[in-house]
Chains A and B, each alone.
Chain A
Amino acid sequence: MFDLNEETIAIYLNRINRLFDGGSINEAKKMCFEAIESFPDEPEFYSILFIIWQHYEKRNLDSEVAINKSLELEPTNAGYNLQKLFILNIIRFPEDDIEPLIHYCLTLQNIDQVRVLGEWALWHEYNGRFTEALTLNKKRFMLLSSEDDLKRIESNIIRLKEKMRISNSV
């Protein structure tokens, strides 16, 4: 873990993060490809590529390929599984059953449970299962610590209650 390769990977990641922070996304992407050329078996670089392609370039299908590569190299990584869940929700739902992946995610250490529950709630909501989505949002509410997040969940809860009211009246 403490050899020169690991050191170089850590430095690459630091430089890529710095480019991100400074808003130089193209430069970050270039460096990411450079890093992948030197370290094709390091999953973290594909995960960064996922963020660039998905978030900044809206290349959802390419980003799925990138995160699949990270997962192939490190299948139990919490962050990569969460990224996979996120992209499945964007490009595949409502057809796919993503619950097996959700249950798997919840068994992983160091996973952002609030985000997993959020993806799960969204999936239920888009499929018209408002009661399940509401229950999950209530769970999320109890786990959160940031004021902005709490407000967002409260507004989700209000929206879901309204959807439930309307669907019951139809």
Chain B
Amino acid sequence: MEQELLTRLESTISQIDDYIASNELDKAIKLLFETIREYPQYGKAYNYLGWIYDAKQRRYNEAEILYKKCIELMPEYSAVYFNYLYLLNLFQRGEDAKQIIDILNRMININRYRLLKEWAFMLEYTGCLDEAMSKQKEAFLSAVSNVEIEEAQKDMARINRKIIFLKNEIQNEL
């Protein structure tokens, strides 16, 4: 895409960001559809529409199609992988989540804490509790705000609770 057009599309996305921030989703949806119809090769628009379908309308199958379309058009755009990873983790799709984690893990300039947190959760719900705990500790160490620190502590406490639960279950069976 030409630089001038890209700049214009980036400014459209920034307008959409503003609409979403002020909860004017009708306007955001209209602008996204217009953009996609006019510039179907512009990947970011699919990610934004996917996020609205996913987070605001619970239309997860449609959202997944849109995330995949964005990845196809813009494979270097990390935000879409994060959105897709949240969706996969929401439905405990560990195998698919692992593939997205591998891609994100090879990327630079990403939010390391968010990646490690989702990674730890994937390990947790797939039953790898010890690995989940050590990944969660990595997340804790990469946290840069008090909110993240508290979040990571809660997650570690939860994993620990599950480890204890499992140990008790095993002891009860013996």
Contact surface of A with B, Cβ cutoff 8 Å? 1-2, 4, 6-7, 10-11, 13-15, 17-18, 44, 77-79, 109-113, 138, 141-143, 145, 147, 150
Contact = CB atoms under 8 A, between A and B. Distances in A.
Contacts, number: 73
Given A2-B33, A110-B87, A113-B92, A141 B162 contact: yes
Contact of B125 (A7, A17, A142): A142
Contacts of A13: 57, 59
Interface residues of B, number: 36
A143 B29 contact: no
Contacts of B25: 14, 18
Contact of B91 (A2, A18, A110, A147): A110
Which residue, A4, A14, A77, A79, has most C-beta atoms of chain B within 10 A?
A14
Given A11-B30, A14-B29, A150-B158, A110 B60 contact: yes
B121 interface: yes
15 contacts: A1-B62, A2-B36, A2-B37, A6-B33, A7-B29, A10-B53, A11-B30, A15-B26, A18-B25, A44-B57, A79-B60, A110-B60, A113-B91, A145-B124, A145-B158
Nearest to B91: A110
A44 B162 CA distance: 37
Contacts of B8: none
B125 A143 contact: yes
Interface in B50-102: 52-53, 56-62, 64-65, 87, 91-93
B167 interface: no
Secondary structure type dominating chain B contacts: helix
Contacts of A109: 61, 64, 91, 93
Nearest to B69: A1
A17 B60 CA distance: 16
B91 A142 contact: no
Contacts of A11: 26, 29-30
Nearest to B92: A113
A147 B93 CA distance: 21
B57 A10 contact: yes
B114 interface: no
Contacts of B57: 10, 13-14, 17, 44
> What 5 A-B pairs come out closest when comparing CB atoms?
A110-B60, A7-B33, A14-B25, A2-B36, A110-B91
B4 interface: no
B29 A147 contact: no
